[in-house]
Each structure stands twice: as structure tokens, then as C-alpha cells.
Amino acid sequence: MGNCFTQLRYKRLELSNNGDLRSALIALLLQLLNLPLLLLPQTPLCPRTQQFSQNLQTPLRLRRARHPPSPLLHRRQIWGNFPRPQVRTSRHRARHCHLAIITDLQNKRLGTASTLTRAEVSGGGRKPYPQKKTGRARQGSTRTPLRPGGGVVFGPKPRDWSIKINRKEKRLAISTAVASAAENTIVVEDFSDEFEKLEKPKTTEFIAAMKRWGLDPKEKTTFLVTEVANNVRLSSRNIGTLKMLTPRTLNLFDILNADKLIMTPEIVDYLNARYGVDYDGETEEEEEEVAEEDEGGVEV
């Protein structure tokens, strides 16, 4: 600090001798800015705050980089071994996955639950007992919410629980879910023809096939196939931890909830074309038609 005040005194002398106010002030400010920052009190930041500050300083790329499109999953044709798909390089969007799951669950609610208020309950027009000389609390109707058989206060009424999600957000959510599940994904050849050759569907045959693929029947497994054959459906319906999905019934919740995800090569190509980075947007109208046909749910 002594050197700083000495420099200030020298600058004052230069100002009095030369009279150049502007140049002296500029030189003084430059020297003040070059003071060591160790003189100021500093508090060390936690690693999470440092990472957050670095993310804020990183510029966001709002445009797609000019490189050839890469598929969502890469499959390798290896006979006798079940290939593992690889994930494309992209950040996961947990927020969009959460929004898509909430949308699917709420859109399944019928919203038909209904209760009767005291005005809608039948009866209760007569005063149950006189106002006075009984020693009891006054009552004006037997259908009051305070008595059994009366109306319900603030009970549920029919309502629409459906909410909206943008088409691009839902596509991004499914793409993120499939990419995050790629580590536990197995690609197998189409097995519908093998089960159609059986005389009758057998659950033991399907469990044996699952064990050959390295699957545990006790784990939650989701199959993604182009079409569910009749024998495949009958052979797998008694397995409580297994679900069969097609492109028309693709469900984000079942993908994220599964321990293992089984796909056929046709489904991998479909995911590349529909939810990959080279998507051209030609199937948006088909998606809307499927959504209209699949409307419905259970009463909640």
C-alpha cells in the first residue's frame, strides 16, 4: 500500500507540472486496476457453485452443428451374440422426460369421479327437531354434511385432467429415454416366426428364450417390436414383469421403468428415423392420429 500512495504522490506532481488532467487520470486508473486482488477478502466457492459459474460462462449453441446426421442407436450384426447399441452424444433432458410422464399419466385420467353436495342429496326438506327446548345443537336439515347420509363438502366433480405437451418436447423426451436406457438395451432378431411355428403357446418356451438372451424373468422387461404375434402375446401374457410395446403403443413410462429393454432391428431403424437427429418431420400427422385413437384411461 505504501508503494501505491507513493505512486499517487508522483502522479499528483506530474499533474501539477504537466497540467495534462486527462492523461494523468487515465494512468492513475490503469495503475489502480493493476492492484493485487489478494488485498480484497475472498471466500472460496464450493465445487457445485464453481461448476455452475463455469456453465454460465459457456456459450450456448442454438444452431445445429454442420455435420452428417448420426443415428440414435447403432446396432451391429453379430450372429450368436446380442449386440449392445451405443448412445449418440447428447445431453439428457430430464425436465422434458418428467413433463412427458406427467402428461401421459394425467391424460389417462377419465375425471368421472363425482359426489353429491347437500343441495343434490335427496331428502332433508324437513327440520329434524325444533330449534329450541331440546338441549341439542340446532339442525335445519338431515342432509347437512355434519350428519351421516348428508352431502359432501368440496368433493370431487367431473373435470378434465388432460394437459398439453409440445410435439418436439415429447420427441426429445422419448429420444432421451431411449438414449439413457441404451446401456441396458439388447437388440435381438425377430422371434415372431419361431413362436408361430409352435403348436400352442407356452409360457415356458418364452421364459427359456428370455434366459437365452440373458434376461431374468423376475426383472422388469419391456419389449419393443413392430407387431405382436398371437403366440407371442399368449406366451408372454402370464409374465407379470414383462410388457410388449409397438410403435403405436410406445410409452415413455414403461421405457424408463424397465430394467431391460429388448428391441428388434426393425424397431431400431424406426427409432433412428422417428426420434433420431435426422428426423424430417413427415410422421407428425400419423402421431396425431394415433394419439386420438389411444385416448382413454381409468377412473382416478
Question: Per the domain annotation, does 186 fall within a domain?
Answer: yes
DSSP state letters, 207-232: HHHHHHTT--TTS-EEEE-S---HHH
On the CB side of 267, CA atoms within 13 Å amount to 26
- Whether 123 maps to a domain, the answer reads no
pLDDT for 50:
60
> Is the pTM value of this prediction over 0.75?
no
Arithmetic mean of pLDDT, 245-251: 86
Whether 36 is covered by a domain: the verdict is: no
Question: Are the C-beta atoms of 104 and 253 separated by less than 8 Å?
Answer: yes
Domains: count for the chain: 1
d(CA 86, CA 71): 10
Q: Is residue 104 part of a domain?
A: no
pLDDT of residue 62: 33
Amino acid sitting at position 268: V
Residue 32 lies in a domain: no
Beta bridge pairs of residue 221: 242, 260
Three-state secondary structure call for residue 74: strand
Q: What is the CATH number of the domain that holds 198?
A: 3.40.1370.10
Question: Which among 120-129, 152-161, 291-300 has the top mean pLDDT?
Answer: 152-161
The whole-chain average pLDDT of the chain stands at: 72
Whether residue 62 lies inside any domain: the answer is: no
Please, which residues bridge with residue 187 across strands? 263
Sheet hosting strand 242-245, strand order edge to edge: 185-187, 260-263, 221-224, 242-245
pLDDT band at residue 132 using 50, 70 and 90 as cut-offs: very high
Torsion of CA 108, 112, 115, 121, to 10 degrees: 180
Lowest mean pLDDT among 82-96, 136-150, 245-259, 275-289: 82-96
Per-residue model confidence (pLDDT) at position 20: 59
Across residues 6-29, what is the average pLDDT?
58
What is the signed CA dihedral for 207, 233, 104, 175, rounded to 10 degrees?
70
Write down the residue that cell numbers 490503469 correspond to.
30
CA dist 95 and 166 (Å) reads 13
Q: Which of 50-59, 116-125, 175-184, 251-260 is predicted least confidently?
A: 50-59
Residue 284: CA atoms inside 13 Å, Cβ hemisphere, count? 10
Are 143 and 149 within 8 A, CB to CB?
A: yes
163 versus 91: which is more confidently predicted? 163
Range of the domain at 82: 76-89+165-293
Residue with more model confidence, 133 or 14 = 133
Residue 206 lies inside a defined structural domain of this protein: yes
Rg (CA), the chain: 35
**Residue 271 resides in a domain:** yes
* Residue 68: pLDDT over 50: no
* Strand boundaries in the chain, DSSP class E: 73-74, 86-87, 185-187, 221-224, 242-245, 260-263
